[in-house]
Structure 1
Amino acid sequence: MATEIRVPTLGESVSEATIAQWFKKPGDTVTADEPLVELETDKVTVEVPAPASGTLESISVKEGETVEVGALLGQIAAGAGAAASAPAAAPAEKKAETAPAKAAGNIVDVVTPSAGESVTEAEVGEWSVKVGDVVKADDVLVELETDKAAQEIPAPVAGTVVKIVASTGDTVTPGTLLCQIDASGSAAFAAPAAASAPAPATAPAASGSSMPPAPAASKMLAENNLSADQVAGSGKRGQVLKGDVIAAVASGAASAASAPVSAPRAPVAAQDEAREERVRMTKLRQTIARRLKDAQNTAAMLTTYNEVDMGPVMELRKQYKDLFEKKHGVKLGFMGFFTKAVCHALKEIPAVNAEIDGTDVIFKNFCHIGVAVGTDKGLVVPVVRDADQMSIAEIEQEIGNLGKKARDGKLGMADMTGGTFTISNGGVYGSLMSSPILNAPQSGILGMHKIQDRPMAVNGQVVIRPMMYLALSYDHRIVDGKEAVTFLVRVKESLEDPQRLVLDL
């Protein structure tokens, strides 16, 4: 009886794929889980494994053709492959091969979890275990890195790691098999040796030379007069995908990327090149770079500035900080005041809390405030949800919790999606003035800066006051200059007269 090979589920937003290349031809012997064909989507490449051992009987779809999820790719004839794969195997060897099948009920697959609606792929980081290691339930196996956050994958059960399928650096999609754990414990002696054999074979595939562009990507490269070395590939083994070309064309990055590859590298002396270090950008850093550049290319971005006397807030903090911390269990910082002031201003100037969707403007009747947090892996923006309905104490507690999760790498997708406005505090690093870049698709971002004593004219006298520059970057397509200036003035007024926050003025 023939076994069908079909297109697997490729992600929530992916409904079709292009046949990139077949690894086998009709008549070839195949074994279960051996890669048969590579599919290319606009986001990722996927290798489809053989569902059973046997002989590849037929191929239904040729390279370069586009297929939908669930479409028939080919068929495997049962029996012949098993006989051909090990005709001279000794009886003892055959028994060893069938042992895992007997213990199949105790083999637990560890697969890539779903990481959120907008996340369709992840990059495999460093493995914390190796084949043969005994693990306990909830032990960390591997870290997956998406374009938004890193996620640790725990062991679902206690047992022995008998197989590691995904290598460090591989790109995987939700549902992709990462490794297998034998929960019976019997594999501690036999399975590790058997499972470790395929490892050397898979390593070269992950670290070998870059693959040619996928068919759809090749067509787009030709249409845009680009070469493959001008586009950074995100597929397996560095393959250039259709999505990579689209992103390069949209951002204009292709022309910029071509310069470092050619002219600037030529005059580098050998001794200088030996002292250089080339490090691959993490997916998080790649996404940060792409999103920031896309924001500049898409929005009509403009920045308006003001300054605020932080004296009243500082006096209030000094007077109540001990009592505040004792009652609420969290320190009274500046972010609670700024978040509350921003929420008040957003209510008055709703355009700053809106976003553009095609030819429509979507006004948000809630305030989900993103708070930019710098980590050793890059900038992340966790979101304080419904901040307009929170007290200053609740805001401080939530920001504290999100900041700790960010530093520990524990942020999930739910923590970083849905923001309507962002606050970035460059002052903690000593920045005196800057122009923040929008966090698309949001229409506004507030930049906080260092508090510095400066001479100010107050009631006809020169006095020294703790001043902070404020910067509001906004999308001029939706926010007018008058609205932007008024918004920043309202934030300034709330901070210089904190009673306004209490009285909702």
Structure 2
Amino acid sequence: MSNLFEMRVPQLGESTRSVKVLKLLKSEGDRVSADESLLEVETNKAVMEIPAPISGVVNQILVDAGATIDVGEIIVRIDGQNPVHVLGDNFGQKRKGEQRVPRVSNDPAWRQENLPPLQVSLIKNMVHSKRDIVQVSIESQVNWSYIDDLKKAYRKSSADKISSLGLFTWACGEAMRSFDKFRARLIDDARIEINESAHIGIAKSCGDDVLLTPVITLSGGPNHFEVQSKLKALLSDANASSAYHSVSISDMSAFDTIRGTPIVVSPSVATLFIGTPYWGFDRDGSKVRISNLILSFDHRVINGVYAANFLSRIKRNIASLRRRECGAA
């Protein structure tokens, strides 16, 4: 037995009163699974996908791409049955014949609180990405003395300061100019589309366990000072919001985190992790400070050799800049 379910625009933030519809991901008559994305919207803080609350068939779509709609407004009618949702290893699923119910404790030692709406949206995107993306990770090391040398050189010779994140963002953007699949997104199982610019998301903590990924767009090969200037403005902008990016950077170099496996969240195709520098040994056996660079990528779009060459290009860009600016071998 089926029932017609009216899906409304959810409350996506305390200050959010309306959203703009960027893209419809389903058409009338399409089958949809619970937690499968139905449409992509933009709030004043982020771009996010709104998932279907039930499984069934899309009966009616009441909005158009480009429209601005209010929170609480009906957007889709779905002909289906309402599943039981559980947040856990089998998020949004239940075993056949089993009635799953949320685990709620009556123990006064436990307290309940709602997750921030942006975090809820990110969780859903992560779940979808884990299901869809074929994620592979590779690791390399960069000689951190190259970063230290560049920062020292600029402190002495220029009023402009540059950060390690600025240098890696520039190096990544330069590499993306040559490796166009890192500027791509998957359309379907047989097609990708490639953007002419590099869209790089910078992971940024906003407190209350909320993570945004504001985006820096690089076109035409800007130099490292121009990238640093854009990056500084982006990270200091309290209104900067998440948006589309094909590559994201998670810079943990200042957080005493040597190694971590970054995840790729659709529609991105790669995430670069920068670890905290530590003492190690160079290829010639000399003791140096090194940092782990870990690149996770979507194997549906990018193969291992292509990813390894991309990561190597980022390192070479840093080394070449050091030779040019510091006169070092």
1:411 to 237, 240, 251: 240
8 Å CA contact 1:367, 1:388 repeated in 2: no
Residue 438 in structure 1 maps to residue 264 in structure 2: yes
1:259 deviation in Å? 6.2
Residue 352 in structure 1 maps to residue 182 in structure 2: yes
8 Å CA contact 2:22, 2:42 repeated in 1: no
1:336 deviation in Å? 2.0
Q: What pairs with 1:459-498 in structure 2 (closer than 5 Å)?
A: 462-498=285-321
> In 1, Cα distance between the equivalents of 2:112 and 2:292?
38
8 Å CA contact 1:424, 1:446 repeated in 2: yes
> In 1, Cα distance between the equivalents of 2:132 and 2:230?
32
Residue 375 in structure 1 maps to residue 212 in structure 2: no
- The residue that corresponds to 2:162 in the other structure is 332
1:353 deviation in Å? 2.2
8 Å CA contact 1:340, 1:388 repeated in 2: no
1:441 deviation in Å? 0.9
- The residue that corresponds to 1:321 in the other structure is 155
> In 2, Cα distance between the equivalents of 1:430 and 1:294?
30
- The residue that corresponds to 1:41 in the other structure is 7
1:430–1:117 distance in 2 versus 1, CA, 3 Å: same
1:302 deviation in Å? 0.3
1:362–1:308 distance in 2 versus 1, CA, 3 Å: same
1:120 deviation in Å? 4.8
> In 1, Cα distance between the equivalents of 2:123 and 2:151?
37
1:450 deviation in Å? 0.5
1:303 deviation in Å? 0.3
* Alignment-mate amino acid for residue 391 of structure 1: N
The two structures, once aligned, show a CA RMSD in angstroms of 3.4
Q: What pairs with 1:85-96 in structure 2 (closer than 5 Å)?
A: none
Deviations 1:110-168 (A, max 9, x none): 9935457366587xxxxxxxxxxxxxxxxxxxxx87776xxxxxxxxxxxxxxxxxxxx
Listed as ranges, the gaps of 5+ residues in structure 1 are: 1-17, 21-39, 46-109, 123-143, 149-172, 178-213, 233-247
Scaled by the length of structure 2, what TM-score is found? 0.72
1:231 deviation in Å? 5.9
- The residue that corresponds to 1:280 in the other structure is 114
1:387 deviation in Å? 5.2
Deviations 1:415-440 (A, max 9, x none): x3232221111222221111111131
> Which structure ranks higher in relative contact order (CA pairs < 8 Å, sequence separation ≥ 6)?
2
Deviations 1:376-433 (A, max 9, x none): 141111111125532211211221122122xx3x224xxx323222111122222111
Listed as ranges, the gaps of 5+ residues in structure 2 are: 24-39, 49-67
1:480–1:347 distance in 2 versus 1, CA, 3 Å: same
Identity of aligned residues (%): 16
> In 2, Cα distance between the equivalents of 1:44 and 1:305?
40
1:292–1:215 distance in 2 versus 1, CA, 3 Å: closer
More helix by share: 1
Aligned residues: 276
- The residue that corresponds to 2:123 in the other structure is 289
Residue 342 in structure 1 maps to residue 178 in structure 2: no
Residue 426 in structure 1 maps to residue 287 in structure 2: no
> In 1, Cα distance between the equivalents of 2:324 and 2:297?
24
- The residue that corresponds to 2:193 in the other structure is 362
Q: State the SS of the aligned residue for 2:253.
A: helix
1:320–1:441 distance in 2 versus 1, CA, 3 Å: same
8 Å CA contact 1:341, 1:501 repeated in 2: no
- The residue that corresponds to 2:138 in the other structure is 304
Q: What pairs with 1:61-210 in structure 2 (closer than 5 Å)?
A: 112-114=17-19, 117=22, 120=41, 174-175=69-70
8 Å CA contact 2:8, 2:71 repeated in 1: no
Scaled by the length of structure 1, what TM-score is found? 0.49
1:323 deviation in Å? 3.9
1:301–1:146 distance in 2 versus 1, CA, 3 Å: closer
8 Å CA contact 1:494, 1:500 repeated in 2: no
